[in-house]
Amino acid sequence: MDKYTASSGTWSTVFETARPANGYVGDNVSPGSVPTSTLTEGTLYRYRAWTRSYYTGDDYLAGPSNGSTTGYCYFKVDPTRPKAPGVTLSSPYSACASSCTAAGGPGTDVTFTFTAASGDTTNTNYEYKLTSSAAWSAPISASKPTAVFTPPTSGTFTVFVRAEDSLGWGAQNSVDFLVAEGPGPIGQWHFDEASGAALDTSTTVAAEQDNASLSSSGASRDGRGRRGVLTHDASGAELATPVTDTGLTVDGSAGYAATSGPVVEARSSYTVEAWARMATTPTHNYVVLSQTGSGSTQPGFAIYYSTAGSKWIFNWHWTDAVGTAHFVRSVADSASPPVKVWTHLAGVYDAKAHTIQLYVNGKAQGSPQAMPSGEPEADTGPLEFGRGNGSAPGAFTDYFNGQIDEVTVWQQALSPESLATEARLKTNDSYAAAELMAAWDPSAATGTTVADTTSGYGSLLTLSGGASLDGTGIVMDGTDDAATAAGPLVDDTGSFTATTAIQLDSTALAAKPVGYMGQVLGQRSSDGSAWGLWYELTGTEDDPENGTVPVGYWHFGRLNADGSFTGVVSDYTADLGSAVRLTGVFDAQSGTVSLYVGDAQNGDATAYTATPGTGDFAVGKAYVNSAWGHYLPATVSDIRVWAGAMASQEQIAETVGD
């Protein structure tokens, strides 16, 4: 075996052929091993082996005959895997040290450059990830050890990196860096003024504001704003007096609001978003937001409901320099979106990728749609709230009927993560905007109906079967008693919160079979349960005072057609001795459901896929496997449903109560 050193530039012998000290060995017998001196890490070695036979008997010094070899085998000694490599960040970002300096912003790329640790000269690849739980990236060659990452949001990110050599992947290193918030919106309208124009609150500089004037007829503000009742400010401080949010209401024929000129520069990346609630099933297209293109007879872009397709659409139209019309549309995944519910809509143009995409309730719809060839034109018309341009410039049409609120415009393509945050509509870390969509207090009702006189949306809850009112709640026998309201009350693909107080009828429950499930309240889909609060009977037990009593648990989620349940279950068995407050929260952006018994969360937030609801809201029964059933014997009171997922136990305790 030989070794090669760069300093000498030559090969030198480490040891020679293994052979017996005297005599010889027979065929197929090893002559033994020869230990080497300590080998040096990083030095290039080579060795070869051959068979040597002797043809003069015992005299091993005489007349050897060398057999052929396979040539040299080359190797280096590397007894350890790679040490943790270094990583540097491209400007304007820097690694956190004793403190972190915010730089860049969402959408501003950072280039990672990976370097071998001191003494590591044999690294072949690197790989990285941005969170400890994420999958590692594809291997990155050590010959070009860089990677580009686009931060989707602001905040602190951690990049983990490790190196690979012939022995495999080695130790990992991590570096923190802080992404600045980046540029804010260029236009924002809350429609919370007492009168006059809707102020653009994206800036306090009057000359830079794009205020929107409301039409003289068909447009107004009322107390059905998407933020609901605000009790805390953006810092989390409690307001001295709660504020009822207001929004823009338009009548579908003449009502609108508009700026005096363009807000969006359509030749650069942009994002437009708004909350919308259709008051009735549309008989014509409903435009939520649009801006007219230069010299065009159609909106430069528009977010609207299409009666032809029965879907939400983000459409962009322009005419190029030679008069050729271009269209591109991003269409919602689901048809026939429900009316009378709040829905978050956003349209994104990414000039870098040259694509547009529609988002509904913070979720991307389909794949990004490639723009036609040719650069888009500048949109020089006003930003229109609640209408679109018609067959001729200035001939407006497709007036929206319902509410529009919280319109925001960005001169950048927001990331999916940022749009999910926008759809959460949080006031601060602990409070999310929650608009009360229905509120029924059976204790004050008589007859066979319970009116909603609180929320402003006026849904009527109608009793059926033998359900009755006892001055406390709705009393149901678990056989055919129930109460229903025309629904849906909330967009099931968006976030919502539902609550009630329930007193179970233990005597009637004891007659039910083990495994029985009854619905407290919920919303149905076209062929089954969309979501609901449920009671499941899991067994019975003997009580010295009451005899055999039922034992069961609370659930929040959906009972599937096959009898399985998707959702979260309570930590403890249901209390039979008194009324219990139940609250269910669906966070559409995280795709989870949470259950609160009283104001205590039970179990962990559980993964849940929304099923769009198209029909009734029901109390005391459920629509499962295309049939009504699952009647629950109980007294139910104080039923409330909000658009928006309450963000914390603190908010639930304050807003829902006990």
Residues 307-355 pLDDT 10s: 999 999 999 887 766 777 778 999 999 999 999 999 999 999 998 899 9
- Dist. CA 94–CA 179, nearest whole Å: 10
**Both 366 and 238 in a single domain?**
yes
Residue-wise pLDDT tens digits, 436-451? 999 999 998 999 999 9
**Both 463 and 605 in a single domain?**
yes
Which residues are CB-neighbours of 564 under 8 A, at least 6 positions away? none
| Whole-prediction pTM | 0.82
2: confidence class by pLDDT, cuts 50, 70, 90: confident
Does residue 429 belong to any structural domain of this protein? Answer: no
**Both 308 and 209 in a single domain?**
yes
Confidence at residue 321, expressed as pLDDT on a 0 to 100 scale: 67
393: confidence class by pLDDT, cuts 50, 70, 90: low
User: 399 with 287: CB under 8 angstroms?
Assistant: yes
Q: Which residue has the tokens 């009548």?
A: 251
Beta strands 474-477 and 633-643 are antiparallel
Confidence at residue 293, expressed as pLDDT on a 0 to 100 scale: 72
Residue-wise pLDDT tens digits, 565-623? 999 999 999 998 899 999 999 999 999 999 999 999 999 999 999 888 778 999 999 99
Does residue 455 belong to any structural domain of this protein? Answer: yes
pLDDT at position 177 over 90? yes
24: confidence class by pLDDT, cuts 50, 70, 90: low
- Dist. CA 315–CA 137, nearest whole Å: 35
Does residue 552 belong to any structural domain of this protein? Answer: yes
Number of domains in the chain: 4
The last residue of a domain, from among 77, 104, 124: 77
pLDDT at position 378 over 80? no
Confidence at residue 494, expressed as pLDDT on a 0 to 100 scale: 95
Residue-wise pLDDT tens digits, 262-319? 999 888 899 999 999 999 999 999 999 999 876 545 668 999 999 999 999 999 887 7
- Dist. CA 368–CA 354, nearest whole Å: 9
Residue-wise pLDDT tens digits, 45-96? 998 877 666 555 555 555 556 666 778 899 888 778 899 999 999 999 999 9
Does residue 142 belong to any structural domain of this protein? Answer: yes
- Dist. CA 469–CA 108, nearest whole Å: 60
Does residue 390 belong to any structural domain of this protein? Answer: yes
Q: Give the CATH number, domain containing residue 127.
A: 2.60.40.10
Q: What mean pLDDT comes out for the span 115-119?
A: 94
Q: What mean pLDDT comes out for the span 185-203?
A: 96
Residue-wise pLDDT tens digits, 416-443? 999 999 999 999 999 999 999 999 999 9
Residue-wise pLDDT tens digits, 530-550? 999 999 999 988 877 777 889
**Both 379 and 240 in a single domain?**
yes
The backbone torsions φ and ψ at residue 144, rounded to the nearest 5 degrees and listed phi first, read -145, 75
**Both 205 and 279 in a single domain?**
yes
Confidence at residue 149, expressed as pLDDT on a 0 to 100 scale: 95
User: 388 with 269: CB under 8 angstroms?
Assistant: no
- Dist. CA 293–CA 324, nearest whole Å: 14
- Dist. CA 276–CA 443, nearest whole Å: 33
Does residue 430 belong to any structural domain of this protein? Answer: no
485: confidence class by pLDDT, cuts 50, 70, 90: very high
The last residue of a domain, from among 59, 77, 95: 77
- Dist. CA 307–CA 338, nearest whole Å: 13
Q: What mean pLDDT comes out for the span 352-379?
A: 88
Q: Give the CATH number, domain containing residue 219.
A: 2.60.120.200
pLDDT at position 220 over 90? yes
**Both 562 and 496 in a single domain?**
yes
**Both 606 and 486 in a single domain?**
yes
Provide the residue range defining the domain that includes 93. 86-179
**Both 51 and 110 in a single domain?**
no
**Both 205 and 113 in a single domain?**
no
Average pLDDT, the chain: 90
Does residue 491 belong to any structural domain of this protein? Answer: yes
pLDDT at position 528 over 90? no
The last residue of a domain, from among 23, 49, 77: 77
The backbone torsions φ and ψ at residue 655, rounded to the nearest 5 degrees and listed phi first, read -85, -45
Buried b or exposed e, range 208-235, using 16+ CB within 10 angstroms = ebbbbebbeebbbbeebbbbbbbebeee
Does residue 536 belong to any structural domain of this protein? Answer: yes
**Both 418 and 552 in a single domain?**
no
- Would residue 234 be called left, alpha or beta, if left means φ above 0 and alpha means ψ between -120 and 50 degrees? alpha
Residue-wise pLDDT tens digits, 232-262? 999 999 999 999 999 999 999 999 999 999 9
pLDDT at position 42 over 90? no
**Both 587 and 468 in a single domain?**
yes
**Both 206 and 234 in a single domain?**
yes
Which residues are CB-neighbours of 630 under 8 A, at least 6 positions away? 517, 518, 519, 534, 559, 621, 622, 624
* Residue 43 token pair: 């030095």
